Chains A and B, each alone.
Chain A
Amino acid sequence: MVRQLCILIISLLFLPLANGNTRFDQALLDLTQQSFKIKATAVDIISTSQHEKSQLLLQTLLAGDLYYNKNSKQLVTILDSDDELEEVTTKSLLSGEESNGLSDSIIKKVKINNQMRIRIKAALAQFELKHDDPQVRLNAVRNMAKNSNSNIIQDLKAHLSDETDSNIIALIEETLALSVLRFGNEKEQLEAIESLSHTSNVKAKTLLNQIINTAGTEHYSTTIIAASRNAIKRINDTEKLNKSVETLFFGISLGSVLLLSAIGLAITFGVMGVINMAHGELMMLGAYTTYVVQLLMPNTIDYSLFVAIPAAFVVAGITGILIERGVIRFLYGRPLETLLATFGISLILQQLVRSIFSPLNRSVETPSWMSGSIQINEMLSLTYNRLYIIVFALLVFAALIYVMKKTRLGLQVRAVTQNREMARSMGIRSGYVDALTFGLGSGIAGVAGVALSQLTNVGPNLGQAYIIDSFMVVVFGGVGNLWGTLVAAMSLGVINKFLEPWSGAVLAKILVLVFIILFIQKKPRGLFPQKGRAAEG
């Protein structure tokens, strides 16, 4: 009693400086009380005091390691305990003074409940807000958000100006808005609702819904409720927009796969008029080439694709040239026969792969730089492999357009396509051009196979799955028109993906097929028909 009186007198003497300390000391005493309510207030006081030990104190308290001496009312931690002698050694938290040989009956634990735990965490978070590691700061803001009371508004506002990490700033703004909704005045609340409507947070939606549900009671004014309704609508719209962007992305990535698989066909079928049913199997060869390349360089998987792409081009291209020289050149001008012969070749290639690599699917590894995704916002993330496929498909397309329009080979190919006799009399070796063109188309099929190996199983049936789709794309786009193929692939991919949530994947595919069948009835020459004057062809 005397001691407390002394402290009181001393503290009165240094009033401006020590006022905080007095309250702090009082709070320390309060912690030894039984009532959780008093203790909770004490925690608040301790956390707002600028005392150097307050963080340590709260941490110890949260961990359940804080005790007090019944006699001296000192807050201590237990250093050592002896169960037989029922004695403990304690260390005072504030002064650091150690005392041993105390009977454990006079040392008591400072009990806390969940309510206090949340407060303590929120209080500790304020200290962590100043931590160097952004991850720690992010967690701190999350902890504060859980215990939203009117105090954190000030703390977070104060911190906001110092913060540099954009993720944390966004989270703080959101948390602020949520807390203001609860504790602020009407003007602040309206501002908060406005700022929440730009977020895509589930919690914000729940809170706004809660506000709307109180309509009719005196809790919130009608303006607030109306504002909340608008905000929810806006959040839903944002969600819908994100969903659409995602579907569009999936559609374009499917379209890119279609483009890759159809573009080689657009050369062989579209430009040369050869129906190559073995096109799918050339893609399969490309995929198996990737598999073999990865077997040969198991330690450098990350770079394997850069080797596999040219390798697949060469393997499939040479196979294509062999097919052209061995079979197709005898069948020019008889498209239906070409179809049958190349179908036979596709069966042989399938069985060849089955005999060499077994009928089972082979696993091709994905390089590390292709896994993962970019987070655009909370609801939208785009995976890298799809992104790279889109870029890759467009690159291949651009390269092909360049070859056809700007190189000598392209010029010769177009000449032979338009008028074989005339081209030959100009000195173009038409057989040589045919072989190279077919090789080019086949090589691109092989490159497409490399891309497919990253998306689906590599097995003997890989090609069959894509051949019908590829033909559909070429026919839909208009035979002989590379740009038509691009447009057709992308639109079919996007249509397919937009139908899917509504109808299911299989039905979407059926609907697209039926759509193309009907479309061809309407425009038998596809979207972008080649101009010509032939009565049939």
Chain B
Amino acid sequence: MHNTILLKHIFINNRVHPSVLAVLITIAVLVPILNLLVPPDSFFHLSSYSVTLFGKYLAFALLALSLDMVWGYCGILSLGHAAFFALGGYAMGMYLMRQIGDRGVYGNAELPDFMVFLNWQELPWYWFGFDQFWFAMLMVILVPGFLALIFGWLAFRSRVSGVYLSIITQALTFALMLAFFRNEMGFGGNNGLTDFKDILGFSLQDDSTRSVLFALSAFALAFFYVVCLLVVNSKAGKVVTAIRDAENRTRFVGYNVEQYKLWVWVFSAVIAGIAGALYVPQVGIINPGEFSPLNSIELVIWVAIGGRGFLYGAIIGAIVVNVAKSYLTAAMPDAWLFVLGALFVLVTILLPNGVMGLIKTKPTKQADINGVKPHEST
């Protein structure tokens, strides 16, 4: 009974969520058709380059969705979420690397090129199993999830919160970046993993594979959108929102705040990892630069611009900012950082609830949204 009310609440009484889903499913079907079936000289033809580019935006949107879960609904500002994204990406990259087989430059069937180059004799133990697709996919979920579990368990248990948590998440991704830059780690060092050939036997260069990957990204985004909606509207989701608005009050009412936080945190990390796994086969490379703190902070601004705490705000923010970035970095390379910087400043001062917050008229107590009490005087 409760479930039907919930579903009705989400999909019938609300006009936004069904339209978001409809758009996602439409493009998942339409884009491959426009790319594969419409002749190249037609006005409606979509180039493979655009398909891959949009596919990338969708992976970013999924990442933004995952951040919105922790920041928008639980008030945890993670400045290291790109770490989970990159870890998922690396797990996928390792599978793709093993798929190259003896088609690499050195023709070694067992070892990836960079290991041959470094004179390694055998595969490190942590590379075993990555020739199996199912194992790699398991790792896409388990590795970010496990890291989040350990990190979150330590951090929430000792009640590290607010700014401190943000800074140590940033330190986490920074440390991972430094670690992955080391050749000794066995993840390709500076160059990362690249030169991928095919996935499950389908060539990554084929238009059809690219279209399928795009459609998969759109479906994954739609799927997790629904999952997140169900989560935030569930009873547990309400507790999480309560933690965001008044952590101590929730604790004193009798909820185990740390458990809820940890649960949302791990859930969010897993989604971020999946986004990374969708991102890597489309762009064809994963390197330690993905761990850079700047990436994580850029992610935060996508969500901030779209508006946190709406789910679709994060998706729209990610897509709008990335489209603007692609356009500006090509048209006016010097201007991009000015624009991005100005966006940070203006959005935080003028639009505390993002663009979606402007459109949506529902009044929110903006000072409470990040779980920090307003300053006594200001």
Contacts and interface: CB of A to CB of B under 8 A. Distances in A.
19 contacts: A275-B163, A333-B373, A333-B375, A334-B370, A335-B163, A340-B297, A340-B348, A341-B349, A344-B345, A348-B337, A348-B345, A351-B337, A468-B171, A472-B167, A472-B171, A517-B168, A517-B175, A536-B247, A536-B373
Contacts of B347: 340
Given A333-B378, A468-B174, A520-B168, A536 B248 contact: yes
A524 B168 CA distance: 11
Size category of the A interface is 35 or more
Given A330-B349, A333-B375, A341-B345, A518 B181 contact: no
A510 interface: yes
A331 interface: yes
Interface string B275-316: 000000000000000000110010011001000000000000
Nearest to A512: B175
B178 A517 contact: no
A433 interface: no
A471 B167 contact: yes
A424 B376 CA distance: 12
B166 A336 contact: yes
Given A424-B377, A510-B178, A524-B159, A333 B345 contact: no
Interface string B363-378: 0000100101111111
A510 B171 contact: no
Given A334-B370, A513-B175, A524-B158, A475 B167 contact: yes
B337 A350 contact: yes
B341 A331 contact: no
B343 interface: yes
A507 interface: yes
B149 interface: no
A329 B377 CA distance: 12
A340 B304 contact: yes
B160 A344 contact: no
A34 B374 CA distance: 104
Given A275-B163, A347-B340, A524-B164, A513 B349 contact: no
B334 interface: yes
Interface SS majority for chain A: helix
A535 B348 CA distance: 27
A507 B182 contact: yes
B376 A337 contact: no
B260 interface: no
A343 B166 CA distance: 13
Given A343-B344, A468-B170, A510 B158 contact: no
Contacts of A510: 175, 178-179
Contact of A337 (B159, B179, B343, B352): B352
Contacts of B175: 509-510, 513-514, 517
A344 B340 contact: yes
Interface string B158-194: 1111111011101110110011011000000000000
A421 interface: yes
A524 to B, nearest CB: 5
B154 interface: yes
A261 B164 CA distance: 19
A345 B161 CA distance: 24
A75 B77 CA distance: 95
A346 interface: yes
B44 interface: no
Nearest to B349: A330
A387 to B, nearest CB: 29
Nearest to A534: B373
B164 to A, nearest CB: 6
A517 B344 CA distance: 27
B342 interface: yes
Contacts of A229: none
Given A506-B181, A513-B174, A535 B248 contact: yes
Nearest to A278: B341
Interface string A461-480: 00010001001100100000
Contacts of A506: 178-179, 181-182
Count chain B CB atoms within 10 A of each CB in A332, A334, A509, A518 and give the residue with the most.
Answer: A334
B349 A327 contact: yes
Contact of A327 (B168, B170, B345, B378): B345
B338 interface: yes
Nearest to A468: B174
B155 interface: yes
Contacts of B294: 464
B154 A521 contact: yes
A421 B377 contact: yes
Contact of A517 (B172, B338, B343): B172
Contact of A346 (B341, B343, B377): B341
B79 to A, nearest CB: 8
Contact of B155 (A327, A354, A513, A521): A521
A345 B378 contact: no
A411 to B, nearest CB: 19
A335 to B, nearest CB: 5
A181 B86 CA distance: 66
A522 interface: yes
A106 interface: no
A464 B337 CA distance: 15
Contacts of A275: 163
A414 interface: no
A114 interface: no
Nearest to A524: B160
Count chain A CB atoms within 10 A of each CB in B160, B171, B294, B304 and give the residue with the most.
Answer: B171
B167 A355 contact: no
B345 A336 contact: no
Contact of B171 (A336, A507, A516): A516
A73 interface: no
Contacts of B304: 340
A336 B297 contact: no
B348 A341 contact: yes
Contacts of A333: 367, 372-376, 378
Given A339-B77, A343-B297, A421-B376, 11 more contacts: A341-B344, A341-B349, A344-B345, A347-B341, A348-B341, A350-B337, A354-B334, A424-B377, A472-B171, A517-B175, A518-B154
Contacts of A421: 376-377
A344 B343 contact: yes
Contacts of A457: none
A69 B234 CA distance: 118
A193 to B, nearest CB: 44
A522 B158 contact: yes
Contacts of B157: 521
A335 B372 contact: yes
Interface string A498-517: 00000000110110011011
A420 interface: yes
Contacts of A337: 348, 352, 370
